[in-house]
Each structure stands twice: as structure tokens, then as C-alpha cells.
Chains A and B, each alone.
Chain A
Amino acid sequence: MTTRKDLTVGEALRTQGISRRGFLKFCAATASMMALPPSSIPAIAAALEKARRPSVIWLSFQECTGCTESLTRSHAPSIEGLIFNVISLDYHHTLQAASGDAAEEARHTAMKENDGKYIVVVDGSIPVKDGGVYSTIAGMTNLEILKETVAGAAAVIAVGSCAAFGGLPAANPNPTGAVSVSELVKDKPVVNIPGCPPIPVVISGVIAHFLTFGLPELDNLGRPKAFYGTSIHDRCYRRPFYDKGLFAETFDDEGAKKGWCLYKLGCKGPTTYNACATMKWNNGTSFPIEAGHGCIGCSEPQFWDAGGFYKALAEPTGNFTTTAGVAVAAGAALGAASGLLNRNKQKQAGAEHETVTADNLEKEQTS
């Protein structure tokens, strides 16, 4: 007898009463989710038809549950929902019914049964200071759980900026020594899906890519290029205003009401790579800049300590007034001192100056 776990994605969808047509629609949505052309739909269909439902172990460490919220708040019936029907989510602190020993048991069973094949999804950063005591589950530190679980995994997906880059727990002065997954996991492929939280379709898109074509192509920060390939600024509908030099100066001036560019109000769109401007939030309703607030750069490393959400990118982040003041005073003092020295030299040279007569010169020439 084939258990639910042995079903391919195609079979699993059919047992849920999804027609061939529905399946192809799902493939089309998957293609667009992965930013692939419609011509790739048959390939996706063939791949999904055969793909085994992977076992997924979801570990939550130092996090706020926002990433899980983002994923589960996506509207039903959605691709995200379907994706979660086609994977076998065997362990997830927040979503699983089991608790205590039974929960840990489920994790161990999934690891044993799918050794070398399961996917580990991590949200939250891992505290490593003082032996990692700042966050423990079932008596184990996050660090221990991560090491143990990742050992038999096929790949790790770091969901959210905490898992991908350390996130808010790692904000200066980082009291718990929080680090990202990729700082700890070096021997397995790690895919980063940063965002605070990430866009739900991006999470499911990456999982879909994993199912169909394996690991997606990543940028230098380990992010899938399909979703993090262009900056918010390059896809922003307010871009024409930026180029024309029309900026909102405050959040309630005429410019803000007319929807002008938010650069001067601290928008980090130019340095932020994410899919918000194209995929949008809340089931495709809008994205933060459409709501009148600049991008805070939540999918970039260290966005939490990047010099202030409301400081324009061109503005210096430091406190330069005192240093500059000291420098002016020092320059003036040293300049005056060296000026006085030069003056003395001048005077001395004047005093020592001997007039040269034509006779002297003639003498010099003959000698």
C-alpha cells in the first residue's frame, strides 16, 4: 500500500480532487511564481507529476513568528496552500498539533525515514553566545537542534531575514550572539529567502522550484535570483517622479499626497533587492511604497542597523559635527602656527639678506 508520503505531487493533488485542468493551472501559476515563461509549463507539469512529496522539517528559533504568519495568512485557496498540500510538513512548532515528546518524536521519525532527502526550513536566528543558552527547545539549544537536524538534510531554506542574515535579534549590540543559518551550515546548500517577513509567494515559489528543477540560481547573498534579481527602485511605480526630481519632503505635504518619490524620506528601494514591487503583498493588493511609506530594505543584511529608516540613502549616518568642529579648530591653530613660523623665516631671510653688486657677480664668474 502506498502511504500518503509515497505519493508523487501529481498523485497527491489528484487524491485531493484536483483535475488535470486544475493541475495545469497550478503549474502555470508555479511558472509565473518562479518568474519562468509560459513555455516552461509542460516541463513543470512533467516534473511535478513525478516529484515525490518531500518531507519538510520547519525549525523556528529566535523569531517573531511573522514569517509563518506571512505564509499562513495568504488567501485560500492559494498556490501557497496547494504547495503545502504537496509537501509533507512533518514538524513545525507553531503549526503542529503534537507537543512535547511527541513533537520531537515526529522530527526524529521524519529524519530517519527521509535521511538525506528532507528539506529543513529555518525561521529565526541562532544564538551562539554563552553556549547558546538564550533559546532552547525541549532542553536542547537551537544550535544543537540545527546541527542535528541539518546533518541528514538535502538542503536548508532560511526563511526570513533573521534566518538569512541574523535579523533583529542580531541588532547592535547583539546580546545573544545571534547568527544566520549560513554562518553555521557550511556543508549543505542553503537558500536564503530574506524579508521581514518574506513575501508568501516567494517562499512557496522557491519550494516549487526545488520540487521541479532543484536548487534555484542564487545571488551572492544566497537569494534566488528569480525573486531578488531586481531592486525595488527599478520596479517602483514612483520611479518617474524620482527621475523628474519630484520628491515628498514630509509624509503629509503636497508631494506625498501626489504620490511623489519617497527618497528624501529615507526610502531604501535603490539598494534593496526584493520582489515587492512586482509580486506585491496581501494577495497582490499593494506594497509598502504604495501605502506611502518608503522601503526599509528588509531583505538586505543589516537593514536593522543601516543608519535609520528615515535617513535618505545619500545622507551620512555618523555624527560628524563634533569631529568636523575639532578638525576646523585644529586646522586653524596649526595653520596659524605654521604661518607664524613662515613669517619668522621671512623676517630672518630679510635680515640676513646681503645685497649683491655687479662686482660680486663678476668675481663669482671669474673664480
Chain B
Amino acid sequence: MNEVNFLLWVRGIGFDIALAIFVFGIMLRFMEILWLGRKPELAAVRGNGVASGMRTVFSRFLPADSNTLKRSLFMVVAGYGFHIGLFVVIFLFAPHAELIESVTGLSWPTLPSPIVDFFTVLTMLALMALLWRRLTHPVLRFLSTGEDYLMLLLTFLPVLTGYMAFHHLFLSYGWMLGLHILSVELLLIVIPFTKLIHMFTLFMARWYSGFMAGQKGVQS
């Protein structure tokens, strides 16, 4: 297989397979969760659940209270750095936006590539810091499973290969671009079936806890 065939495969059949498994998995997981249902709420309604639910979806994007911040400053900084970096890299790089537009029809303005490049490095540093922390923190290390490390790796690979493709490192651009796309496809395939599904379920979960708290008339 030469570079052109490889690139064609990942842009063609490879992408089709990954996308199909991805949307299949997401639907499966959501249906499973939603069909579980909840027990009827018998207590008297004391506040507006919907408003509280909406608020919670967004309020939890903000850093935690100062106490938590003090206790785990490292996690907060590295965690936010990583998530913000990843967001910028995925959605605000022109070729990525072009791909999303061709699949969904949605488009938005993008950032110049040197800025995206900066965020790419930031994302990789943050990911490495998080790995280091996981390996050195005794409790975290004890709690970590193989899946945690695998997910770190699978998230790291697309960022790394994208960076290397852009800068023409190690392999020709075509091979690296192909590897980059392939690594993203791997990630797409595992997202629904691993903890990475949190990128979708978090909204539902936040909404739910905010809603419940709101109905009980307490702050979420």
C-alpha cells in the first residue's frame, strides 16, 4: 500500500466505518441510559428544575470553588489547559472545520494556523502532565486502570500526528496525514464504549443533577 492508497482508504472506507461505529455507539449508549428511566418523584416540587438544570450545564464549566482550587491546583490547570487546547485544536483549525462542514453543513470562523499550533503544543504538554500526575500520585495511580492509560494514549496520538504532519516531521506529509486521520478514526470508534463518552453524557448528567436539586429547592 502506498501513501496515496493509504490516504484514500482513511478518507474513504476507513472514515465510513469509524463514523458508522461512532454514531451507532452513541445512539446505543444514550438509549440504554434513557430507557432505564427514573423512579417517580414523590416529594413536593419546591423550585424550578428546568432553570436549575440549564444553569448547571453551564455553571460547571467554571472552575470549582477556591478551596478545591487550592487543594488541586495542578489538576485544574492541566485539566483546563488540556480541554481548552483540545477544543481549539479540533474546532478552530481550518481543515478540521472544513471536514465538519462537509459532514454536517455547519461552519464557523477559524484561527490562523500558528495560533492553533500553539494550542497543539499546550494540549500535548497538558496531556503529558496529566499522565505524569497519574503515575506519581499514589491514590490516583492506585485507582487507574488500563483503560485510563489507553484513553490517554488514544487521545494523545491524534494531537501528536497532527502536529507532526503539519511540521513535516519523520514521515512525508501524506503518510503522516493518513496516520493522523487513522488515529482520529480509532478514537471515534472507542469514544462510545469507554469513559470518553463523557463528552456527550456530561450534559445529560449535569442537567439531571441540576434539575433534581432545583426541584428540591437546593443549590446544585
Contacting chain B: which of A65-73, A89-97, A111-119, A326-334? A326-334
What 1/0 flags go to A300-330 for Cβ under 8 Å of B? Answer: 1111011100011111111110011011101
User: At the interface, yes or no: A343 with Cβ under 8 Å from chain B?
Assistant: yes
Interface residues of B in 80-116 (CB under 8 A from A): 94-96, 98-99, 102-103, 109-114
Task: Indicate whether A244 reaches chain B with its CB closer than 8 angstroms.
Answer: yes
| In contact, A323 and B19 (Cβ under 8 angstroms) | yes
**Interface residues of B toward A: which range?**
35 or more
Secondary structure dominating the interface of A:
helix
A313 to B11, CA, bound (A): 9
In the complex, what residues of A have CB within 8 A of residue B33's CB? 339
**B112 adjacent to A244 (CB under 8 Å):** yes
Chain B residues touching A, majority SS:
helix
Contacts of A231 in B (CB 8 A): 173
Q: Count contacts between A and B, CB distance < 8 Å.
A: 145
Interface: B30 (CB within 8 A): yes
Taking a contact as CB atoms under 8 Å apart, the answer to whether B99 and A314 are in contact is yes
Give B168's nearest chain A residue, CB to CB.
Answer: A234
Q: Is there a chain B Cβ closer than 8 Å to A132's Cβ?
A: no
Q: Name which of A8-16, A263-271, A274-282 contacts chain B.
A: A263-271
Known: A271-B177, A306-B4, A316-B11. A324 touches B19 (CB 8 A): yes
Contact B23–A324 (Cβ < 8 Å)? yes
- Residues of chain B within 8 A (CB-CB) of A319 are 16
* A316 in contact with B173 (CB, 8 Å): no
Among residues of B, the one whose C-beta sits closest to the C-beta of A340 is: B35
Q: A263's contact among B2, B26, B95, B168, by CB below 8 Å, is which?
A: B95
Q: How far is the CB of A345 from chain B (nearest CB, A)?
A: 10
Distance in angstroms between the alpha carbons of A24 and B190 in the assembled complex? 64
Closest chain A residue to B109 by CB distance? A245
Task: Report A-chain residues with C-beta under 8 Å of the C-beta of B110.
Answer: 245
A242 adjacent to chain B (CB < 8 Å): yes
Bound CA span A270–B31, Å: 42
Are A242 and B113 in touch, CB under 8 angstroms?
yes
A342 in the interface (beta carbon within 8 A):
yes
Given contacts A316-B16, A335-B30, are A328 and B24 in contact (CB under 8 A)? yes
Q: A247 contacts B94, CB within 8 Å?
A: yes
Query: Which residue of the partner chain, among B15, B35, B112, B168, contacts A320 with CB atoms under 8 Å?
Result: B15
- Chain B residues lying within 8 Å of A326, measured Cβ to Cβ, are 20
Name the distance in Å between A269's Cβ and chain B's nearest Cβ.
10
Decide yes or no whether A252 CB sits under 8 A from chain B.
no
CA distance A342 to B31 in the complex (A): 11
Assess A312 versus B20: contact at CB under 8 Å? Given A243-B112, A338-B32, A339-B36: no
Q: State whether A313 and B95 are in contact (beta carbons under 8 Å apart), knowing that A270-B173, A339-B31 are contacts in the complex.
A: yes
Taking the complex as formed, is B34 at the interface, i.e. its CB lies under 8 A from any CB of chain A?
A: yes
Report A-chain residues with C-beta under 8 Å of the C-beta of B19: 316, 320, 323-324, 327
Q: B21 on the interface (CB 8 Å rule)?
A: yes
A152 to B5 Cα, complex, angstroms = 34
**Which B residues are in CB contact (< 8 Å) with A316?**
11-12, 15-16, 19, 99, 102-103
CB pair B95–A327 under 8 Å, yes or no, is no
Interface residues of A in 319-367 (CB under 8 A from B): 319-320, 323-324, 326-328, 330-332, 334-336, 338-340, 342-343, 346
Asked if B75 is at the interface of the complex by the 8 Å CB criterion, the answer is: no
Q: How far is the CB of A179 from chain B (nearest CB, A)?
A: 14
Q: A221 at interface (Cβ–Cβ under 8 A)?
A: yes
Cβ-defined contact, A320 with B16, below 8 A:
yes
Report chain A residues within 8 Å CB of B96. 314
Residues of B contacting A302 with CB < 8 Å?
4-5, 8
Q: How far is the CA of A313 from the CA of B3 in the complex (A)?
A: 14
When the two chains form their complex, are residues A327 and B102 in contact, meaning their CB atoms are under 8 A apart? no
Given contacts A302-B8, A323-B19, A342-B36, are A243 and B173 in contact (CB under 8 A)?
no
Query: Top 7 A-B pairs ranked by shortest CB distance?
Result: A339-B35, A335-B31, A331-B27, A331-B24, A314-B95, A327-B24, A327-B20
Q: Which B residues have a C-beta under 8 Å from some C-beta of A?
A: 2-5, 7-8, 11-13, 15-16, 19-21, 23-37, 94-96, 98-99, 102-103, 109-114, 168, 172-174, 177
CB pairs A–B below 8 angstroms (19 shown): A245-B94, A245-B111, A270-B177, A271-B4, A300-B174, A301-B3, A302-B4, A314-B98, A316-B12, A319-B16, A320-B20, A323-B20, A327-B21, A331-B24, A338-B28, A338-B32, A339-B32, A339-B34, A340-B35
**Known pairs A311-B102, A316-B19, A339-B32 / 5 extra A-B pairs, C-beta < 8 Å:** A301-B4, A303-B4, A320-B15, A327-B20, A339-B31
- Chain A positions near chain B (C-beta within 8 angstroms): 221, 231, 233-234, 242-245, 247, 263-264, 270-271, 273, 300-303, 305-307, 311-320, 323-324, 326-328, 330-332, 334-336, 338-340, 342-343, 346
